[in-house]
Amino acid sequence: MSTDASPPLVPGQAAPPTESGDLSRSIASSGAGDRVYTGLTTFFALCIPLLLAFLALEIGRAAWPAFSRFGLGFITSSEWNVPAGRFGAAPAIFGTIVSSVIALVLATPLAIGVAIFLSEFAPPWLQQPVAFLVDLLAAIPSVVYGLWGIFVLIPLLRDPVIPFLRDTLHLGATPFFAGPAYGPSMLAAGVILAIMSLPYISAVSREVLRAVPRSQREAALALGATRWEMIWDAVLPNARSGIIGGVILGLGRALGETMAVTMVIGNRAEISASLLAPGYTMASLIANEFSEATSDLHLSALMAVGGVLFVITIVVNGIARWLVWTVERGAAG
């Protein structure tokens, strides 16, 4: 995941000097040591795509029995019944996507706010400590998030938060907040994922905002813009593609997260419109059932879930690339 975000980190600055092509060629031809070095680094670079291809091949091979048996029904059916040997992953696919979307909706504004504050407003003595603490969120093991979710977040949701959403904001009438609220729910998973993906989005956005040339800000201020107008009209548009890259990195984190989500989502293979109902994710499903799966079809079905997750991740990253690309082109044009 993390490799995908590095290009959008510094938009527009990645272009190397034009004569670098000639330079590297002349270096490459200058000795045996360089040749070995070039060969070695090329090999390392090729290892990753090879590994990825091998991974896809192996998952595809192991998942094939399930796909050929259930066909499209594997993705559309909601029945996951191990003793009966019927496998449909729709609730897990739904849960993975919905929990990740909740996470992004909650985390993105917060993370961009943190990034703007740190790069534009924060006094120097506050900048470093706050940035450090936000980054520290990324270093906390996910099982700790899970425990925190069970013992702190879920009781908080159950007592002040959900009654507030339902009764004070009158959201209880909408299908999204209907039904009994036990605590472990899609909402709890989304909130945990938001906290977990926040440092990624905020760290990338912060660096991107810092990379916006000083001259842009000075020009905006010189035209009589207020500080807010300067950020909104001059800084953010320049940083747009990088921020999208950061959001996608956060999304990648949210899609694949396993442990923390398993601990708070309630693990119920059902599709429900209510965010207060328990759900299931693909990663949790695999983690929960893999170690005790004995039948070949069950194993194959779990592999197929892994394959679907793999494809969804690739598609999401593809969309992200495309978004970054169009935004960059729009900014240039």
Partner 1 sequence: MNRPKPAFGLLLAVAASLAVAGCTSESGKTPADTSGSASTKTPGRLTGAGATFPYPIYSKWFSDYAAKTGVKINYQSIGSGGGIRQLSEETVDFGASDAPMNDTELAAAKGGPILHFPTVLGAVVVTYNIPGLSAPLRLTSAILADIFAGRVTKWNASAVATLNPGVQLPNSDILVVHRTDGSGTTFIFTSYLAATSPAWKAGPGAGKEVAWPVGLGGKGNEGVAGQVKQTPGAIGYIELAYANQNKLPYAAIQNSTGAFVVPTIASVTAAAASIADTLSASSDYRVSVANAAGKDAYPISSMTWLLVYKNQRDSVKGKELVDFLRWSYETGYESAAALDYAPLPAKLRERLIARLGMISLGGA
What CA–CA distance (Å, rounded) separates 130 from 155? 27
**Scanning residues 37 to 76, which ones bind partner 1 (CB under 8 A)?**
38-40, 42-43, 46
Is 77 an interacting residue with respect to partner 1 (CB under 8 A)? no
What CA–CA distance (Å, rounded) separates 75 from 119? 44
Is 128 an interacting residue with respect to partner 1 (CB under 8 A)? no
Is 274 an interacting residue with respect to partner 1 (CB under 8 A)? no
CB 24 to partner 1: min, Å: 14
Closest CA to 90 of 281, 262, 303, 315: 281
**Scanning residues 155 to 184, which ones bind partner 1 (CB under 8 A)?**
155, 180, 182-184
For 205-222, letters b (16+ CB in 10 Å) and e give: bbbbbebbeeeebeebee
Among 59, 93, 154, 209, binds partner 1 (CB under 8 A): 154
Is 136 an interacting residue with respect to partner 1 (CB under 8 A)? no
Q: Report the length, in residues, of the chain.
A: 333
CB 272 to partner 1: min, Å: 13
Contact 178, 293 (CB under 8 A): no
Instruction: Dig out the tokens for 92 from the structure.
Output: 């897990």
Is 29 an interacting residue with respect to partner 1 (CB under 8 A)? no
Site string for partner 1, 202-241 (x = CB under 8 A): ----------------------------------------
Is 32 an interacting residue with respect to partner 1 (CB under 8 A)? no
Contact 131, 206 (CB under 8 A): yes
DSSP reduced 3-state for 83: coil
How many CB atoms sit inside 10 A of residue 273's CB? 13
In the complex with partner 1, which residue's Cβ is closer, 100 or 281?
A: 281
How many CB atoms sit inside 10 A of residue 80's CB? 20
Q: Which stretch binds partner 1 (CB under 8 A): 14-22, 122-130, 165-173, 266-274?
A: 266-274
Task: Please report, as ranges, the residues that interact with partner 1 according to CB under 8 A.
Answer: 35, 38-40, 42-43, 46, 79-84, 150, 154-155, 180, 182-184, 262-263, 266-269, 278, 280, 284, 287-289, 291-295
